[in-house]
Amino acid sequence: MADEGNDKQGAPKHLDRPDPAGYFKGESMTRRTVLSIGVQAVGGAAVAAVALPAVGFAVAPLFEEQSEPWQSVGPTTDFSPDTYRAVVITAVEGIGETGKTTAYIRQGNPEITNTPEAKEKGYPPESADEYIAISTRCAHVGCPVRFVEASRNFICPCHGGVYGFVGERIGGPPVRPLDRFQTRVTNGQVELGPRFSVTNNLDPVRARDPGEFTGGIWNYLYPPRPSVPPPP
C-alpha cells in the first residue's frame, strides 16, 4: 500500500506544490522575498534617520574642544607662599554668575616639598617663581571645599573629605587630590588657565570628573574625555 504522504510516483507531496505566479525555473528570489527585503530596508533607514541624530547630539560634546581661556586673577604681590587667597574665576562662559567658581592661589614654596614626608611621597618640587592654584571642586562628588586657615587644610562640608595644604587627600571619601589650574605670569599679573587633575604623587594628568581615580592603571580605567586639554 502506497504511503499517503507520497504521490503515485513516490515523490513527497510537499515537493509537488504548484509554482508561485511569475516563477520561472532557476529563479533564486521570489517577489515576496524582494518585497520583504525592501520593507526591512525602508524600516532600517527610518530608524537610522531618527536614532543617528540623537546619538550624535549625545556624543558630540565629548569631542568638542573645551574653551578655557586664560584669565587674570591679580598681581603677583597679592599672593604669598604661606597661605592661600581665594579668587573668583569664570569656569563656563556665557551663563553669567552660574558659570563662576572659586580657586585658591598661593605662591610656590620650595620648603614645602623639601620635607622628608614630601620627598617620601614623591611630590614634585615647588619654585618661588610659580603659583599654585587649587580647585575648590571636591574629588568625591564635586561639592565646593573651603580652606581653613587654622588647620591649613581644605575641608568638604558635604561628606567630610579632608585635603592637606598642597591639596593631597588626607581622609574621607575623595578618591584623589584636589584638581589644579595651570598658571602663568604675564606683565606682573597671575593668570589661570585650564584645569587639570593630579595623581596621589601630585603628578599632573588630564582633568577627570569627580569620583574618578588617577595614576597607574586608573588612567586606562578612567580615560579622560578627548576634548580635555593636556596637562602642563
Domain range summary for the chain, segments of one domain joined by +: 12-64, 71-221
Q: Residue 57's pLDDT is what?
A: 45
More confident residue, 44 or 213: 213
The arithmetic mean of pLDDT across residues 95-116, rounded, is 91
For residue 33, give the 3-state DSSP assignment: helix
Residues 30, 36: Cα–Cα separation, whole Å: 10
* pLDDT top residue among 198 and 60: 198
Q: Which CATH number fits domain 71-221: 3.40.50.300, 2.102.10.10, 3.90.230.10, 1.10.287.610?
A: 2.102.10.10
Beta strands in 71-229 (DSSP E): 71-75, 85-90, 100-107, 131-135, 146-148, 153-155, 162-163, 169-171, 180-186, 189-198, 204-205
Q: What 3-state class would DSSP assign to 190?
A: strand
Amino acid code (one letter) for 81: P
Range of weakest confidence among 107-116, 146-155, 164-173, 182-191: 107-116
199-218: average pLDDT = 93
Higher pLDDT, 229 or 58: 229
User: Is residue 123 pLDDT above 90, yes or no?
Assistant: yes
Query: How far is C-alpha 230 from the chain's CA centre?
Result: 13
The chain-wide mean pLDDT, for the chain, equals 83
pLDDT of residue 63: 47
Percent of the chain with pLDDT over 70: 78
pLDDT given for residue 24 in this prediction = 54
Q: 3-class SS at 62?
A: helix
| Distance between CA atoms of residues 137 and 153, nearest Å | 14
Residue 209 has pLDDT above 70, yes or no: yes
What's 144's DSSP letter? B
- Residue 178's identity, in one-letter code, is L
Average of per-residue pLDDT across 15-31? 59
Could you report the per-residue pLDDT of 169-186, keeping only the tens digit for each?
999 999 999 999 999 999
Q: What is the mean pLDDT of residues 73-78?
A: 96
